[in-house]
Structure 1
Amino acid sequence: MTPRDDSGTPPDRPGNRWSDLDRPPLDAAALRRGLLREGGLWRSLDVVQRTGSTNSDLVARAAGGEAPEGAVLVAEEQTAARGRLDRRWTAPARSGIFFSVLLRPAAVPVARWGWLPLLTGVAVATGLSRTAGVDTALKWPNDLLVTVGGEERKAGGILAERADGDGVVVGVGINVTLRAGELPVPQAGSLALAGAASTDRDPLLRGVLRSLEDWYTRWRSVGGDPVASGLQETYAAGCATLGRRVRAELPGGRALVGEAVAVDGEGRLVLGTGAGVQEPVGAGDIVHLRPA
């Protein structure tokens, strides 16, 4: 008898969630048992097989009053995933971890909400270090970097969006088992290509979400203070952008070249542009430049 999934589809047919045995589906029930607890941050967790964008879906749920703080939405595949500057990207089904969470940091001044993508980066890097056994670094403001063949590659990204007035939806995409022939661009990478000790997505996702809960709870408890929470120091320690010569491509077509010398109290990247001038960058695309 030909094995079939719970929809009755043979495993060799397109769309069958068991068609690639190297990429088994997530166990939603086990994830809920491991992450949802009384008094914890995470209140609900849903896994969908396919959607356009978990961020867009969760923003819509929040607007409709259908999602509490701590709602987690995970997709096995996204067909219209968005990054910063409205960039689009896709990845094979079950090749990565693609999820969004709804946060409502009402106790934190809005001026400090800009730290949320950086906080998420620290949490993701910390969680993956523990569960995947792979060294990661952060590129300001929202990229996760790994080393593949001695080269710096992007293996993940973060996108934060306002939702429902006092809410923020933070989306995370991490390439886990993406193979060399599946890379969308040569500068991309994955945990597997970086030599991760484990690519089992269930413990990886649990580790990342537990780390995010820990960092977010700590940050929120001190009113979002990046110093008191330890966030500013930890981010700086893991940021591959600091100490590098970079080009900041700013809104409006302006570009700024200089050395990334610090991340300030508002989460902005501070560039030293010569003659002792330091200029903070709050938004833009950062390119790491090779040494001359």
Structure 2
Amino acid sequence: MDLSIGKYEIFHTVVELGSLTKASVSLNISQSGVSHAISSLEKELGFSLLTRNKAGIRLTVNGERMLLYMREILYLNEKMLQEAGEIRGLEIGTVRIGTFSSITAVWLPGLLKKFMDQYPHIKVDIVEGKQEEITIWISQGIVDFGFLMLPAADLEVLHLKREAFCCVVPETHHLGAENSIKLNALQEEKLILQNSTLKIIHNILKSNKLSPEIAFHLDDEQAVISMVKNSLGVAILPDIALHNLPDGVKIIPLSDDRAICSIGIGSVSFKNLSPAAEKFIAASTLWLNEHFT
């Protein structure tokens, strides 16, 4: 059978974008060319990969099974091309990174600038999501690796930085005059937490035999801070989430030495990363050492 890498790439792009039209634009080929490639692939395999209707496209059960292998083949092909480029003295390829909002806002601009200045011919694809989504993307090979709050189950991890938790309160709050806050001072407060650190904070509170009310838990740190500004509760957030703070709130450190979390990189296997991914991780650790030590 003639199952070409090109057909795999077309099929993978259609699935990722959820549309033949979007895939044709992304790949710069005609929509009829995309349809022909999918039909040809289905004919060669002997079964349908996609169902098509007015609502769009969906993977068949068999399509889901084949997608896992095609992702692996595309990844290995990309890795092979990068290795070949290195042999020829070229630094090329694509690195796909999973990240969450705080990393995107605070770290990535500096990281990308350093990396792209050093490796201008390596393309970087950024996929932003929730912690759970990033973990799934890593496991399924959608991204090469991802930035995560540690620990991360079933992944190899590289610790990057410890982050202290701080309390965010409205300026008029009775705790606003404090220079630091003990955890037990929060027992009667309504807490607003970020989902990415919800389990970590719960464990910290539990170890101190505290069980304050968790009024809200949200994905976006700016939404958490906005709720604090409107006096709906107080927040506990890591340092990295405390960027672009609005007027009307105050940051107060927590005095408990255990009120910390770790940010790191998760991967299925660091040994099997592509050269481009290895270079990005090396550049990341160097940038962090330059800016946070």
Report if TM-score (shorter chain) is over 0.5: no
| TM-score after normalising by structure 1 | 0.24
Could you say which structure has the greater relative contact order, defined with CA pairs below 8 angstroms and 6 or more residues apart?
2
Between structure 1 and structure 2, the one with the greater Rg is 2
